[in-house]
Structures are given as structure tokens and as C-alpha cells.
Structure 1
Amino acid sequence: MAEKNKTPLVALVDGSNYIYRAFYALPLLTNSKGFPTNAIYGFTNMLLKLKRELQPDYIVVTFDLKGPTTRHGEFEDYKATRKPMPDDLIPQVPFIKDVVRGFSICVLEKQGIEADDLIGTITVLANEKGWRTAIISGDKDLMQLVGENVTMIDTMRDKTYDAAAVKEKFGVGPDKVVEILGLMGDTSDNIPGVPGIGPKTAQRLIEEYGSVEEVIKNSENLRNVKLRESFRQYAEQARLSRQLANIRKDVEIDFDIRDAAVRVPDKEVLSKLFSEFEFSSLLQEIKQDKAKPAKEYKQILDRKSLDELVSHLKKSHEISLEVIFEKNPPTDLVGIALSEGKDAFYIPIGHTNVLEQLPVKEVFSALAPVLSSPGIKKYVYDLKTTLVSLDGFEVQSGEDLLLAAYLLNPAKNSYNLDEVVWEYLHERIPAPNDVAGGKGKTYPLALVPLDKMTGYAGQRADAIDELAPVITAQLKKIDAIELFRKVEMPLLHVLSEMEKKGVLVDTSLLQQMSADLTQLLSISEEKIHRLAGEKFNINSPKQLQNILFEKLKLPSGKKTKEGYSTDVDVLTDLARSHELPAEILAYRSLTKLKSTYVDALPALINPKTGRIHTSYNQTVTATGRLSSSNPNLQNIPIRTLEGKRIRQAFIADPDCFLISADYSQIELRVLAHLSEDKALIDAFASDEDIHTRTASDVFGVFPQMVNADMRRQAKVINFGILYGMSAFGLAKELGVSMKIAQEYIEGYFQRYKKIRIYLDGILEGARRDGFVCTLLNRRRYLPELKNKIPSVRQFAERMAINTPIQGTAADLIKVAMVNIANLFLKKKLSARLIMQVHDELVVEAPAEEKEEIIALVKKEMEEVIKLKVPLKVEIAFGKNWDEAH
């Protein structure tokens, strides 16, 4: 192996050049707050690559500062043709410099002096010491500095220029590059050169005469008449161009090259920056050494140790709890870690390779006085799943930091504990894959060796303990602590009880329905083949494209990598002119119902309870709405016959009824309250059909003259306004022209004037503050409002309009759920909430409690919060979910 050159190497980075190159090399990237990050990310990776591959002894990154330079004094139009810095790049520049400093790399910049001249000056300083210099840039001007100990590296093109490579590019050596540029000019810097002279002519002239000055002196001897005339007219311009292209090597700078020695990066600074910009891969790269020093965690393996632990914990004011369970199902417990700051403990209860461990029930029975004590605060991460896993054991005075992290930034895709700890504490803790596999291979946590699991669980419990005060302070800062403690935390307990209770399902009905759907799909398939004129694989996009666009010559829409799209939007448009796309949509709908619900529901039944235990997700939607999974109840069709039959499969216990309570037009009522529009308030106050009222106002007819189609269109308009729908979107939805759609919107706002004022105000406030809030102060950040990409910005505008309305509706039903569940317990009723879907609550109640529950639920939902309009709840009961509608 070749010995490393011991002569010190100085890396001089043309920072200004690389900022632009990094920006344009990557697509526009943003973090979850919408802040642009592509240039920061690209520049950072370049620095890491430079350090890794070059291993320099000294590094300097130079930047141009805003404002005129010495060259502007020589030539007013210097760089005049350069476009302004892109808006999405401007805010990234200061952070790029912060990243450079975070790497403990010297940043050099001087007002009025260009980065090139700083590089030229430092190159001379390095040469005087006999050191090697590597100039990191893609700027051809800097090739004039290349010499015996100086190279230029274009990392973007992976090209290194020594003297031979420069000569290959320009046809002359590095010392003559400035002469070439003086003649041919440089369009990037608006250096004019001599008109009519390009690279080849410039090379020939410099090869023959050696310099710009000598070419000018001998210009009358040039055989080319046009060239002679050019030099007569532009001799001074040639001299000026050479002067502008010449890099200075004598700039006065307060700089000691020894200060540029490579140093250890400031990982604290880099951690904060990379966390803010959500550079997970870069975080991973620097966090290898960031893990906290190993700490000894105590294992609790016998009853004596457990009793001592309980006695110790009873004296604590607060503890942190991390229950380790298999991902699926969470009832498969592995162990429990507890931390109270100084000490942390791990109790194995489900390890398959540990002989000495206590039984689950014995452990939790012993811990029960601590877990249920209201005087000891418990911090947990994902308390709802923890409660489900504990199966009956209470955790009182618990605070879920997962919920808190969600409220601080509800738009994130992931809230894994290790990621949140890194974001707020800049500390590394192990993720599940770190102890149970990785690289796509995982194995059960119960198989992890005890010592390894003890460290894993203990670190996580400690991290929760450290995270609690930090994240609580952030909640208080955005005034969300009341929402957290009075709405989301109580709701968490309600949801965990709903999940544990589950709902009964009629499997025989589902089996019959599966057979019926199989028959319907067969009929639909035959019809599709008949309409297509041939048999083909309906589920093959390529074959479907061929039928629709090649054979039937239907108009093709948006194109994807695989060809023309056949998604639902495209097929819906095509269905207006041909029967086949409509039938394909129906076929797809039936297929999805069969696979997602009819055939899947029986497999979700818990064999121990005979019920389906849906998971309710509290930290998924950015608006605050709940979602559900296994199964996803929200996606069961409401109006179709098949959707009704699926609902019929959700049944009550033999001696019970299902009671369905559904808010009527809650989002429009919230809009009336928030906008304070008198016309809308009056319509709800007089209990009018709001869609009929809107149709009457928009179409200019008496309410009694409104037909079904007019009401349907008015309904689309009403809800379109809620979702910030444009005239284009409304036209598409209603199948009318843009002009008519715009007239509908104008007619709507003419009638409901204060709604427009309210919506304009919401947008103005969102652009100013960067976020919107619900009535209960749930916050959603919308940095995309400042995005330069119209489609991204317009989406954010729609979210700014919709979130306060939809989010407030979500807040109301959450508060109602908490109140109702508390009343059931207070009154010692047997009824229980078992499902929540959109604006609907479903209760399972014994027959003898039915009337009381109907009255109680209706009252609590309608009186949950006093609005300027009455809240209305439609409530019914039945032996199955469909009957209860």
C-alpha cells in the first residue's frame, strides 16, 4: 500500500460555487415544517466526502458576501447577467455556514472581496510553506491557480485538474488560463472579452503570442480582417477582461493558516442542525459516538428484589415506564423497565431464554400500588398500547410523551421514541432493530439476550425520564398543555378501553357476503370483457391501458412511468363518455370490499374474546381526527348496498343494542361559529336543511323549488368551501364549466359574506404565523404556504382553511367521548363506547339501559361546547350497526 504523502494538505473550498451546485444537483427538499433543505443537504454531503476521501490537514471554506466587490469598481456590469439567488436557496445559506462551523471548519469571507481572491491568497500562503493545496470548485477561473503543488478538484464531476488536465481543457498551461479568459471572456461573470473570439481562437492566439498584451501589440499583423478590426475596437476591453479574470493573490486578510487545522466536529451543533432539517442518514453518521456512556441497569429476577423495588418506587414523585412487548400482538409482553432519574430497573417477564424470571401477574400485582397511585406521576411513551398490553392493570397520573410529541408537530410521519429523543435531547438511544435484527431481518424481542435487553430497555426508560420536562415545556410554550392534559390524555384511556372491549362480528353473514361478492365480481368481469370486446386481465394496468387508449381510443390523461394512468380520477372522467370505465370502477370497489373487509374481518377476530379489537390512532392525522386500523372503519362505504351489508355484520351482544349517534353537518356548524356569518347562523338556528338553503341562495330560487340535483350541487359547494376547493376543482366535481363554477362560488360568498372574510383572515394569519389553530388551540404548522411551487402552496392554503374547521370538529367529538365515558362510569352503567367513525359514536348498551343511554349520549354530544349555532345529533339503535342508522 502506498505511503500517505506527509506534506500537509490544505483544502480550499469555493463555498459560494458549491452552494449553487448543491442546490441545483438535488430536487427541492423540505423538512416537515416546509423549510427548504436541498442545498444544505448536498453541501453537507460534499464536506463529508471531502474529509473522508482527501483527509486534508487544513480546511478553509470561502464565501462571497452580498454587495459590490473590487471588480464592480473596475467594471460596473461585472456579473450583471447573473440571476438573483433563488428564493428557496436564500434562507439555506446561513445554515450552510452553520454546518461548516459545526464541522469545526474555518469559514473565510470578506466584504468587497470575492471567494476566488481569498482562495488565491491562501494558495500562495500554502505554497510559501511548501504545502500541497487542493482547490474544491467547479469554477474554471480557479484553474489559473493550478501548479506543482496545487490541484483543483471538481467533486460534482469527480474530476481532478493538475497542470496536464488544465492544458487538456484550455490548450494552454494554468499560467495562461487568465490570458484565454481575457480574450474569450466569461459569460458566467459577464466578462466581455473580445467579440468574435471563442475558445479555439483564443487558444491559437495565446499559443502564438503568449499573452493578451502581446496579441494586442501584434493585432495589426493578424491575417483575419475581422480579428484585426475587433482588436482595434476592443483592445481596452480585452485588457479589462484579463484584469477581471485575474485572481488576486495578495488580499489583506487577518488569517493564520494554522487556525484552519482539521478539528473534531462539534456534534452537539451538528445534531441540532441535522435534527431540525430531518437529515436522518446524516444524524446516523455522526451519532455513532454520541451514545451516552454505558450505565448499569439493575435486573429484577426474584420476589425479594421486586418488593425492594416497589418499596423504593413508592417514595418517588415521578417515574418513567417502558413496557417491552412484541409489535404484534402487543399483549405478548417481554419485560418492563422503570426509571426514576438516578436509577433504572429491568424486570424480564416474557423472555424465552431466561429461566429465572417472575410471572407476569405477580409482577404487575406487586407494581399495582405504584402504577395506580395518583400521587406518583408516570411518564410513558405510547401509553395507550401500554395499557392494552397490561390487560386490566391501571396506570393513573400517566402522561404519554408520544401524544405530546404529536401535538408539537402533528404533520410528522413518524414518532419513534429514538427519533424524538434525538430531536429534543440530541442523544442516541437504541431502536428495536438495533437489538432485534436490522437490515430488514428482525426476530422476536423475547429472544434478545437478557443483558442486551436490560441495556436497551433501561436506556429507553431513562430517555423518557429526560424527555419529559423538555417536551412538557414545549407544550406550555405553544399553549397546548390544556389540550394535552384535559382532552388527549383522558381520551387515550377511553380509546384503550374501546380497543379492549372490541365489537362482535357475524362471521356467517360475512361468509355469505363473500360468496355473493364472488358472484357479483364474476358478473362484472363478464360485462367488462363484453364491453371491451375481448378477455383481458382487469387487474393489469398495462392491459387496461391497451383496451382503453389503444383499442377504444378513449382520451388518455396523465402519463406515468408505466404508461397512461388508469387511476380513479382518470376512470371517473372517462366514465362520462363510455360505460367500460364506470364498470371497472365498480369492479375495483367490489374487489376492495371483498379483500379489505369481507374476507379480512374474520381473520381479525380475537380467539379469546370472539370480538374484533380495532386500533384507534391518536397520532396520525395532522388535523387531530382519529383514524383506525385493523380494520379501518372509516373506509367502509356508507351509501352502497355492500357497505350497508358490511355494517350489518357488526352486531350487538344478544341482550344488547348498538346505538349510533352521528353529528349532523358538524363542520358547517363549526364554520358558522368561527365565521360568525349571520345568514349561516340563522339557517342552523331555524333548523333549515342547509344544502337546500344554499341551493336556494346560489341558484336564486325559492326553497320549495330546489330539486334533488340542485341540492346535490349545493352540498358539493358547501363542503367544497370547507376544503378550500377552487373553481377548477368545483367544475370538475360538478361537471360544469369553470365559468359556471366560479359563478357558484361568487354567489355563495355573496350570500355568506362573512365566510369569505373569515377564510381570507385565516389565510392571512397562517401566512404571518406559519400555523393555524382549532377552537381548543390544536396547532398545525403550514410552512408550505411560503413554498414557491404553486401546487404545494395551494395545497397548504386548502389545509389552512380546512384544519381549523375539521380540527375543531375532531376536538368536539373527542371531548364528547371523554364526557360520555366518564358518565357511564359515574352512573355505574354497563354501556360502553365501542366504535368511533368520522363524526359518529357507536355504543353497545344492555336493553334495560337503552333509553337512558340514548338521552345521555345525545345531550352530551349536543352540549359538549357552547357554539353560536346548535349542535345536532342524529341517534338511532338496532341489533346491528346498519340498523342503528
Structure 2
Amino acid sequence: MTLTHKPVGPGSHVFLVDGSSFVFRAYFQSIRQDAKYNYRSDRLPTGAVRLFCTKLLQFVREGAAGATPTHLAIIFDKSENSFRKEIYPEYKAHRSEPPEDLVPQFPLMRAAVRAFGLTPIEQDIYEADDLIATYAAQAREKGADVLIVSADKDLMQLIGPGVTMYDPASGTAGAKGSREERLINEAEVVDYFGVTPDKVVDVQALAGDSTDNVPGAKGIGIKTAAQLINEYGDLDSLLEKAPGIKQPKRREALTDPQAVALIRLSKKLVELVRDAPVETKLDDLGLHQPDPNKLVAFLQAMEFTTITRRVGDLYGVDIHDIEPDPHYVGAAGWRARNGEVDHAAAPAGPKPKEPRAPAADKATEGFSPATLAGARKAAALAEKIDRSTYETVMSVERLEEWVADAFEAGIVALDTETTSLDPLSCDLVGVSLALGPGRACYIPLQHREGGNGDLFGGADLVAGQIPLETAIEKLKPLFEDDAVLKVAQNMKYDLLVLSRYGIEVAPMDDTMLISYALDTGRNNHGLDELAQKHLGHENITFAQVAGSGRTFIGFARVPLDKATEYAAEDADVSLRLWRALKPRLAAEGKTAVYETLERPMVTTLAHMERRGITIDRHMLSRLSGEFAQDMARLEADIFDLAGASFNLGSPKQLGDILFGKMGLPGAKKTATGAWSTSASVLEDLAAEGNEFCRRILDWRQLSKLKSTYADALPGFVNKETGRVHTCYSLAATTTGRLSSSEPNLQNIPVRNEAGRKIRKAFVAPPGRVLISADYSQIELRLLAHIADIPQLKKAFADGVDIHAMTASEMFGVPVKDMPPEVRRRAKAINFGIIYGISAFGLANQLSIPREEAGAYIKRYFERFPGIRDYMDATKKTVREKMCVTTIFGRALHFPRIASANASDRAFYERAAINAPIQGAAADIIRRAMVRMDAALVEADLSAQMLLQVHDELVFEAPEAEAEATIALARRVMEDAPLPAVQLTVPLQVDARAAKNWDEAH
């Protein structure tokens, strides 16, 4: 056993685990599982110990919350007789006795800590929280980072620079009782207590704590306490000025001498000791590899089959050569009930064999994030995939064993196989699981043979499959258990599919989104590409097993052996990718991006997609006819101007008319040698006054609106819900913006009459309204903040018309006398600058000479030099680092910035200038969306968020709740950057309610 011997200092990661809290959490998680997993063969209760060991192995091997520990302490309460009992005998007097089955597991928890080569930390007089506070203070004094593993609100007072809390299974309870892990930083403390961590003690002193029997002030809860402390600054100032409080009851509660004495006593009870004389030195908490012999011997004695096997694999020992620790076997184990266990070193059998999997062992040696990430990368490439090891699960007994093993492993990768790509209408064909590299299975549920390939097309179920209802019953507790992390690639799809079978999956990690947080712009994030890049492995494709085109048979008819290879491989690869990519989040400083901007969006978007939106099919039918008539009139005009009729949908025929017959300038050839008739070519010609090209553009737009929306939208109505359910993609753009498909609701024009007519067809049901809440000029506001432009910041702060102000700055025209044309030019420049508009582009947009447009841009930069400075600095950054970063830490990569082609480099420079602005806007609306559902529930509003379209959110609400919903949506959206970023310009949200989407916008 090799100690790290490194003292705590800068770069150290000190994990302080609230062991006492963990004991109870593990117990209550264990009793929600099948009872047979909670007892040893001699009926010794061990369920809580099993889950405790599973989590402890995770801390030792992988860390938590994207960090890996260099020093680790598991800290317990030694007894209830702390110094607080001496100053207030009623402290914790109302605590009930622990459950009978938990009592014998207390000493076994400590024995488990010793088996892992650690020392359980506990001390007379002081509670575990005091020891955690002391170690945290010592670690910060030495420059180390601290992660406190607990959900105890009393520890929130310790959060600050370098000190974070991690709740491995908390968050907001879902409909099925599942909870998600979360990081607790200052923002979460403010959300809970209403004050920053340094004022938590004062709030607790006022509010008291019924659980610990801390008296506090009569009639004052957390919300009122927070208001008072925020108003008066601290507890002492509040009590000093309390006689001046106007409310009689509040004044009495804060001025009566006995009440004040109880408040000050309460502060002594809730304030943690940060200088306790700890018996184990901080530097002695250095993490080291446990002796695998002793660890396996303990686990064997506990009869923890799966985790024993996992430890053997991790540390390369043959578990069959190691005897169970006799101190914990049989009747001797029952002595644990009275704390009589002998903790002396136990014989551990012969020495282990040479490691069987050195790559896996190396994958977690060293505890710095960078070291772990590098080792995991190497291990991922070294561990080859063998599909022949996958199992087809055909019996309930084997399924139960896989589920039990997953509970002990604490992590399971999953994947669903279905009859279509629509998660809201498909049928579940099977589920795959993976518990470790190469350890994967497929559970076929509705495979069929014969028939025509349709799931219910006359084909018979393949014999021997587990009944669907039985499999769901067995998998549901696993997929919903908050002590088991579920991993998947594109988890949103699986979450939506399983929710239709009554399963709410949580907590979860998504390998696609981890990759997106790390490598936006570097590569795509599909499973096949990630497998090739990070594992050096080529996955079986769907077409290889299910066919394509005329040979397509559907997954339900794929033979079980081929289905197992394909499906289990997906789960296996997902888990391997998770192991390889997750450590990079901490190593590359992207944990916050993933935890706050990516992972929470999975549930948020799944809820939105499931809700859908109502459309008026009759209105769309009328629009289709109207658009057809308008297109016919345009065709007649176009043919008249061309002097001939031709196929308007044929780029070749159009090119021949434009550049052959008409001889128009600006002709360009495509790669195939045909004339280019792209929108940009036609727009350039139309800007020069060519009416023919203008009408071609109008015809194209109507044609697209007719085919894509008026004709197609009714086909997207779900038969069960009667609503349209779009699909949002989280990892499809280079800036963090969402994309929408099936149908795409983000490309409906909002600034022309035809597009607005399509929006009118999105309607609210009777008695309800649609609410559109849209950020006003958010990208200009972010430009003002990021580039630090005083004039723009002042204008936004004062609520001035930004385009009129810009025109006034540039052209010297007073705002009150601003001609519309001058304002229009300033508006074009304002928005064009964000996208790196050129003099040529601005000239086309404003229909002015290029020289005049160039003069406008030059004058703009003279009036706002900070914008030019920002652009130059961003170009320099992207050339040097090949990436830029948003104000929330999202890295946007531009690997092709080094292209030898000058026009390519210029294009990527313009994109890099815009990316931090557009990316920050995307991050802000993500932050708003993640918070919105909880805010609506907290406000007791039944409104639901349905759509996100760029900078706009669309809600459906009862008419009576419209105004309250608008007010809440504005507040959440405008406060979305906080507390991570304090913008120097205010955000503004325009919101309106109406019976259809167009009128609400």
C-alpha cells in the first residue's frame, strides 16, 4: 500500500464526507430496494453497508462532481453528547431512535472505512459538522480546494471560494420520488436561505431548527429571517435596531430580553466550530490505494458479490484466493450490534496474482483531474471491445441478477431499442444495460418473427422473451433509484421512451452532452463518431442489423443474437465513453458548463417535448390554398419577366435564364459546373434592383412555407395527444443554441406577413392562452457588456432607443428629431456589426454605394472604439487558442481557423467574433429554462413552457393566470445570468398573452 505522502497545498482536492448523514441516507435507500439485498445469509442487516461501500469505492476510484480527491476523510458523529448539549440540554432532544435494522450497521460502516485503508474520523464533544468545518478551514488556509459531500443545510455556511458542497442524490423530487445529484455553490445557498453563505448562521439563529430543537425567534421563519438580515446586514445590527421595527409582533420577538437571549443561544448552537483540536492531522488524510486483500476479505464476509468482483477486477486480484475476514463472518458479525467488532488486522489470504487488467488499473492511478483524464483516455483505447461477451437476458431470474448487480455497482449505462425514432409514438422492443467495460447485456421484450416487419403486422413474438410488463416492473426501481447513476448517449430519447411506460429516469449523465461541453466545434457528438475518436472502435451500424431501403426489416425482426451485439454494444460503448470523458470536465474546467447548462436541459426539454402545442388544422388548410394562389400569381409575373416559362424549382433552368438568356452579372459556378442560384446570389441581384430575382425569392419563401408548414404540420399531430411535438437537439450547433426538428419550429419567419400567418395557426385550447416571452435585443446588450461600450451600456440602463442613440452618435441627429431612414441605417449597422458585416454586405442591405457603407462602418468604430478592440482581441484569441469562450465558460472551438485559405480564415474570424455573444445568449436562455418549471411550481402556477425559439419562450397558461405567468417569466429570464455573471446592462423581456402565437409575439 503506497501513501501519497503529499501534504495539503495548492492543487490539492480535499473531500470531506459527512459519514453520519451518509449512513442514514444509505439505509433509507436500501429499504426501498428488494429486501433480499439488505441482509446477509445469516440475516445480519447489511443493505446500508452495501450502498455505503459502493459509494465509497466511487470516491476512492473516481471522485465525484468532476473532481478526484487527493485527501479524503469520512467523518462521523461519535455520540450525541456534544458541547452543544452542555450549553442547551434540549439540543436535539426530539430526535427519534435509529431504526432497529440500522443499529448493527453503524460499526460495520466504520469497519468498511478501515477496509478501504482509511481512518474513520470521529471525536468526543465535537459533531461531525464541526470537524468538517475545521478541516475545510485548514485546507483553504493551505490553498487547497474542498468538496464537502453532504446534503446537510447546516454545512452551507462553509461554502465560499474554494469550498463547494456536493449532494450525491438530491435536487427536486420527481413525480416518482427520484432525485438527482447536484453541486451546491453560493447560488444554491441563496436559493435555499435567501442570503449568502456568510450570513447563513444569522438566518438560522433567527429561524431556529425544529429538527435539532434550536429555538430561534418566535414567529420568524427562514424567509422572514433572510429579509431581516439582508435589510440590516447582520444579526447584531438587527437586534440593536429592532426597537425601531414597525411590525409589533416582529419587534416584540426581537426585543424581549428572554427572546434575545434565545436568539443568541441559537447562534451558538448553529455556528460550526472551525478550530476544533482535531486528533487526525489534515495531511494524514492523504488518499492511497487500499490493500485489496483486506478490502476483498471484508467484502467477502459481507457477502457483497458484485462489488467484491468489481474490486477484484479493479485491483487485479483473484477473489477466489482470498478468504472472508473471520472477524465479520457468522455469529461474530452479530457482535456488531453492540459495537463489539474486533478491528485488528485480519488475515487476508495469499497474496494476489499479477493484475489481470493493467490498463484498467492504470486508468485511475493518480488523483489529479488531468492525470486521471489522461490515464482514462489511454485505457479507453487499450480496452478492446469483444461483442461475444454480451449476454441475451431471457429469464426473470437473470434480469433480477443484473438489476442487483447494477444496484451494487452504483452506475449503469442503458439504451432502448424501439420501433421508430419518435419517442412519443414508438413501441419499446428491448433494453440494454452495461455495468463495466465488456460487461453488457440485452433484454429483448417484443421481438417478432414472420409477418411484414411491422411490430403488429401479423408477426408472432419470439418465444422465451420476458413479458414487457414484468421487465418494466423489475427495471423501474433501478432506473428511478437516486443512488444509482444512469448513463446514456442522448438520454433525452430514452427518458421520453421510458416515461411512457411509467419510468422516470434519474439521476443521469449523458455522454453526448459531456462531449458537447468539452468539444463544441471540434467534432460531431454521435455515438459512432465518439466511439471511433475516443475508443478506436467502429460500432455496428443500425443498417447492418435492421437493413435499409428495400431491405429494411425494423429492429423488432432482427434476430436476437444480432440484436444483442448491436444493442449491448451501444450501452457498453456509452459507459466506456463516460469513463473516458467525464474526468476531462474537471481537468479542462468544464464541469460547471456541463452541470448547469447541459445536463439539466435533458429533463427540461423532455418535459417540453412531451407537452407539445396545439395547431389549427383548418387554418393551415386555408393558408395552403392561399399560398398556392399567391405562388401562381408570382409564377405568372416571373414567366412574363423572363419571356418564357420554366420549372421554378430547377436551379439549372433558373441559372440558364438568369445568366444565359438575361446575361445578369455576378454569375458563379457550383462544384458541378452549373450556375449558382443560391439565396445569397439572388439577394445580391435583388438588392441592385432586379425585380425578377426579388419575385423568385418571394416565390421560394412561399413555396417553403407551404410545403414545410401549411401542408406538413397537420401530419405531425400526435394521434394520442392531438398536439404537435417538436424535437430539440442539444448538441447540434457550435454556439450552444438549440435546434428544432420534426417539425422545425425555429425557422418560421416572424418579420413577414406569410410567416406571421403560419404562427397564427399555433393556438391555445379553450380557456387558455399562449404567452410569448422574448429577450429584447439581447445580443446587442451582451455586446455592450462584453466589449464594455459606455455609450451602449448607458443607453440600455436608461431605456433609450438604442438604434436612435447609435444614429445620434454617428450622424449627429438629435434623437427627438430622428428620421426613420437614419434610424434604419443605424439598426442595420448595430445588428450587422455583431455578425462581422462587410461594407459590401451593408451596401446591399441598405441599397447604398459600397464606399458610403464603408464610411458608415468606419465612423461606427470611431464612435465606439471598444467594439473594434473587442473584435481585434477576439481574432487574436481564436488564432492563438483556436477557441473562444462565453461569459459562462462555454468553449467554442474553431479548428479550421488555421486554414490556408484566406477567405476561410476570414469567415471563421467573423464567426469567432459573434460566437461569445450568441453563445452567451444561448447560455442565458438555457439557464432561464432550467429554472422555469420549478419557479412555476413554487409560485403555484399551472402554466407550462412549450417552445423555445432562439431568444423566445412560449408558454400555455389558464387565462386567469396570464398576468402572473408573464411577471414570473420576465423575472426568471431577466435574472437568468445570476449569480454566475452580473451583467453591466439590464436584460429586458417583452411578454404578451393571446389566443395564438402571432398575436402573443
If the TM-score is normalised by the length of the shorter chain, which range does it land in?
A: 0.5 to 0.7
1:843 to 955, 962, 969: 955
Do 2:659 and 2:667's aligned partners in 1 also have CA atoms closer than 8 Å?
Answer: no
**Partner Cα distance (2:784, 2:652) in 1:** 48
Aligned position for 1:307: 400
Give the CA deviation at 1:438.
6.6
Q: Which 10-residue stretch deviates more, 371-380 or 533-542?
A: 533-542
Aligned position for 1:408: 518
Give the CA deviation at 1:532.
2.4
1:876 to 966, 988, 992: 992
Do 1:384 and 1:493's aligned partners in 2 also have CA atoms closer than 8 Å?
Answer: yes
1:647 to 747, 759, 783: 759
Give the alignment of 1:654-669 within 5 angstroms. Answer: 654-669=766-781
Alignment TM-score, normalising by the size of structure 1: 0.65
Aligned position for 2:266: none
Do 1:845 and 1:853's aligned partners in 2 also have CA atoms closer than 8 Å?
Answer: yes
Aligned position for 1:334: 429
Aligned position for 2:472: 364
Aligned position for 2:667: 557
Aligned position for 2:535: 425
* Cα pair distance change 1:396/1:290, threshold 3 Å: closer
Q: What is the one-letter code of the residue matched to 1:305?
A: R
Do 1:384 and 1:492's aligned partners in 2 also have CA atoms closer than 8 Å?
Answer: yes
Matching of residue 708 in structure 1 with residue 803 in structure 2: no
Q: What is the one-letter code of the residue matched to 1:872?
A: Q
Q: What is the one-letter code of the residue matched to 2:598?
A: E
Specify the SS of the correspondent of 1:374: coil
Do 2:807 and 2:822's aligned partners in 1 also have CA atoms closer than 8 Å?
Answer: yes
Q: What is the one-letter code of the residue matched to 1:572?
A: E
Matching of residue 345 in structure 1 with residue 436 in structure 2: no
Aligned position for 1:677: 789
**Partner Cα distance (1:630, 1:484) in 2:** 26
Give the CA deviation at 1:289.
13
Question: In the TM superposition, what whole-angstrom CA distance separates every residue of 1:145-192 from its partner, at most 9, and x where no partner exists?
Answer: xxxxxxxxxxxxxxxxxxxxxxxxxxxxxxxxxxxxxxxxxxxxxxxx
Give the CA deviation at 1:556.
4.7
* Cα pair distance change 1:652/1:376, threshold 3 Å: same
Specify the SS of the correspondent of 1:612: coil
Give the alignment of 1:320-719 within 5 angstroms. Answer: 320-330=413-423, 331-341=426-436, 343-353=439-449, 354-392=462-500, 393-411=503-521, 414-437=524-547, 441-560=551-670, 561-575=672-686, 576-719=688-831
Do 1:652 and 1:879's aligned partners in 2 also have CA atoms closer than 8 Å?
Answer: yes
**Partner Cα distance (1:564, 1:716) in 2:** 30
Matching of residue 816 in structure 1 with residue 928 in structure 2: yes
* Cα pair distance change 1:724/1:367, threshold 3 Å: same
Do 2:887 and 2:920's aligned partners in 1 also have CA atoms closer than 8 Å?
Answer: yes
* Cα pair distance change 1:780/1:565, threshold 3 Å: same
Q: What is the one-letter code of the residue matched to 2:499?
A: D
Alignment TM-score, normalising by the size of structure 2: 0.58
**Partner Cα distance (2:983, 2:467) in 1:** 52
Specify the SS of the correspondent of 2:436: coil
* Cα pair distance change 1:695/1:334, threshold 3 Å: same
Specify the SS of the correspondent of 2:947: strand
Q: What is the one-letter code of the residue matched to 1:694?
A: T
Question: In the TM superposition, what whole-angstrom CA distance separates every residue of 1:570-604 from its partner, at most 9, and x where no partner exists?
Answer: 22233333322211111111111101110010111
Aligned position for 2:917: 805
Question: In the TM superposition, what whole-angstrom CA distance separates every residue of 1:126-148 from its partner, at most 9, and x where no partner exists?
Answer: xxxxxxxxxxxxxxxxxxxxxxx
Question: In the TM superposition, what whole-angstrom CA distance separates every residue of 1:674-724 from its partner, at most 9, and x where no partner exists?
Answer: 112111110101111111111112222111232222222211111111112
Matching of residue 728 in structure 1 with residue 840 in structure 2: yes
Aligned position for 1:296: 389
**Partner Cα distance (1:697, 1:743) in 2:** 14
* Cα pair distance change 1:826/1:380, threshold 3 Å: farther
Do 1:661 and 1:857's aligned partners in 2 also have CA atoms closer than 8 Å?
Answer: yes
**Partner Cα distance (1:410, 1:327) in 2:** 28
Please provide the CA RMSD for this pair: 2.3
**Partner Cα distance (1:529, 1:702) in 2:** 48
* Cα pair distance change 1:765/1:535, threshold 3 Å: closer
* Cα pair distance change 1:841/1:289, threshold 3 Å: closer
Q: What is the one-letter code of the residue matched to 1:470?
A: A
**Partner Cα distance (1:463, 1:748) in 2:** 53
Question: In the TM superposition, what whole-angstrom CA distance separates every residue of 1:293-323 from its partner, at most 9, and x where no partner exists?
Answer: 3443333334343334333332231111122
Question: In the TM superposition, what whole-angstrom CA distance separates every residue of 1:212-266 from its partner, at most 9, and x where no partner exists?
Answer: xxxxxxxxxxxxxxxxxxxxxxxxxxxxxxxxxxxxxxxxxxxxxxxxxxxxxxx
Specify the SS of the correspondent of 1:559: coil
Which segments of 5 or more consecutive residues in structure 1 lack a partner in the other structure? Answer: 1-267, 269-286
Aligned position for 1:207: none
* Cα pair distance change 1:851/1:443, threshold 3 Å: same
Question: In the TM superposition, what whole-angstrom CA distance separates every residue of 1:701-754 from its partner, at most 9, and x where no partner exists?
Answer: 111232222222211111111112222332333233332222211211222222
* Cα pair distance change 1:441/1:780, threshold 3 Å: farther
Specify the SS of the correspondent of 1:580: helix
Aligned position for 2:337: none
Q: What is the one-letter code of the residue matched to 2:860?
A: Y
Aligned position for 1:127: none
Give the CA deviation at 1:460.
2.2
Q: What is the one-letter code of the residue matched to 1:371?
A: F
Do 2:412 and 2:434's aligned partners in 1 also have CA atoms closer than 8 Å?
Answer: yes
Specify the SS of the correspondent of 2:746: helix
**Partner Cα distance (1:834, 1:615) in 2:** 11
Aligned position for 1:318: 411
Q: What is the one-letter code of the residue matched to 1:857?
A: A
**Partner Cα distance (2:551, 2:927) in 1:** 42
Aligned position for 1:162: none
Q: What is the one-letter code of the residue matched to 1:682?
A: K
Question: In the TM superposition, what whole-angstrom CA distance separates every residue of 1:788-814 from its partner, at most 9, and x where no partner exists?
Answer: 211110011011101000000000000
* Bigger CA radius of gyration: 1
Give the alignment of 1:730-809 within 5 angstroms. Answer: 730-809=842-921
Aligned position for 2:983: 867
Question: In the TM superposition, what whole-angstrom CA distance separates every residue of 1:496-539 from its partner, at most 9, and x where no partner exists?
Answer: 11111111111000011111111111111122222223333222
**Partner Cα distance (2:946, 2:498) in 1:** 19
